Amino acid sequence: MAAVTRTPLIAGNWKMNLDHLQSIAFVQKLSWTLSDARHDFGDVEVAVFPPFTDLRSVQTLVNGDDLPVRFGGQDVSAHDEGAYTGEISGAFLAALDCRYVIVGHSERRQYHGESDEDIAAKVSAAHRHGLVPVVCVGETAEDLEQHGPSAVPVAQLRVALGGARKGSEVVVAYEPVWAIGSGQAATSEQAQQVCQALRAVVAEVLGDEAAAATRILYGGSVKAANIAGFMREADIDGALVGGASLQLEEFASIARYQKHVGT
């Protein structure tokens, strides 16, 4: 595979936490903390995924103060407009300067019955509107027991990428369901094994060049104490952080993992 450098991405999925006022305070403090620590955002990209109702506030702050933090939505409708009560169009996210959108998070799959086909349609919607989908895949504890770690996420990604437009960027997030919110992260070796298999799926569906350029994140109980181990792996290009992304110092420390690689 061609040698390319992939800019690591440390992303915070806030889930249903922090209202629009809290989001402003958080993003402001996060930027100050990282800037004070001379964080190079070109070297390690930092993004947050606040609730929809926060996005306008975050956009106004980021654009107004020219902050280097990126942001995106936690979900997107497969439809562009119309009679879909409660859904959010990719056009609206793009109009708020979102760069990214999470699709297929396991909580959407589990609580909202989203299928791999639904997620493929959302990937397609994201690309129609110039958004980069962060496609989440991952196995449950039962899947792990029955099929091992790679089979289910590989199958999920193959279908989801069916919605991708060739030449448009995707980010993949491997999030084992059993590791989410459990305090029990995967080992970096196991995560690497699955991320390598996921990169092969990107190659199969979108080609070798896309596979070499695509960032694959690990998610599930990531914290400052374990991030460096994941980032040492060849096929892990960042993290999708849940709980720890709501703790300012902890999240800033995760973004600065290069300072504690080797510790």
Residue 147 a catalytic site member: no
Tell me if 139 contacts ligand 13P by CB under 6 A. no
Binding residues among 77-106 for ligand 13P as defined by CB under 6 A: 105
User: Of the listed pieces 58-66, 144-152, 186-194, 238-246, which binds ligand 13P according to CB under 6 A?
Assistant: 238-246
Binding residues among 164-203 for ligand 13P as defined by CB under 6 A: 175, 180-181
**From 105, 114, 127, 139, active-site residue:** 105
Tell me if 226 contacts ligand 13P by CB under 6 A. no
Beta strands in 33-175 (DSSP E): 45-49, 70-73, 100-103, 132-137, 171-174
Residue 107 a catalytic site member: no
Q: Shortest gap between Cβ of 254 and ligand 13P (angstroms)?
A: 10
- Name which of 110 and 115 has its Cβ closer to ligand 13P: 110
Tell me if 112 contacts ligand 13P by CB under 6 A. no
> Site for ligand 13P (CB under 6 A): which residue of 190, 221, 226, 253?
221
Q: Closest CB to ligand 13P belongs to which residue?
A: 242
C-alpha dist (Å) from residue 158 to 39, 51, 151: 35, 28, 11
Classify 40 as helix, strand or coil: coil
Report how many residues bind ligand 13P under the rule CB under 6 A.
Answer: 14
Q: Residue 258 and residue 37: Cα distance in Å, rounded?
A: 12
Q: Largest alpha-carbon pair distance within the chain? A: 53
End-to-end CA distance of the chain: 30
**Strands 215-219, 171-174: parallel, antiparallel or unpaired by DSSP?**
parallel
Q: Residue 93 and residue 61: Cα distance in Å, rounded?
A: 16
In this structure, what are the phi and psi dihedrals at residue 219, rounded to the nearest 5 degrees? -140, 145
Active site residues: 105, 175
Task: List interacting residues with ligand 13P (CB under 6 A).
Answer: 13, 105, 175, 180-181, 219-222, 240-244
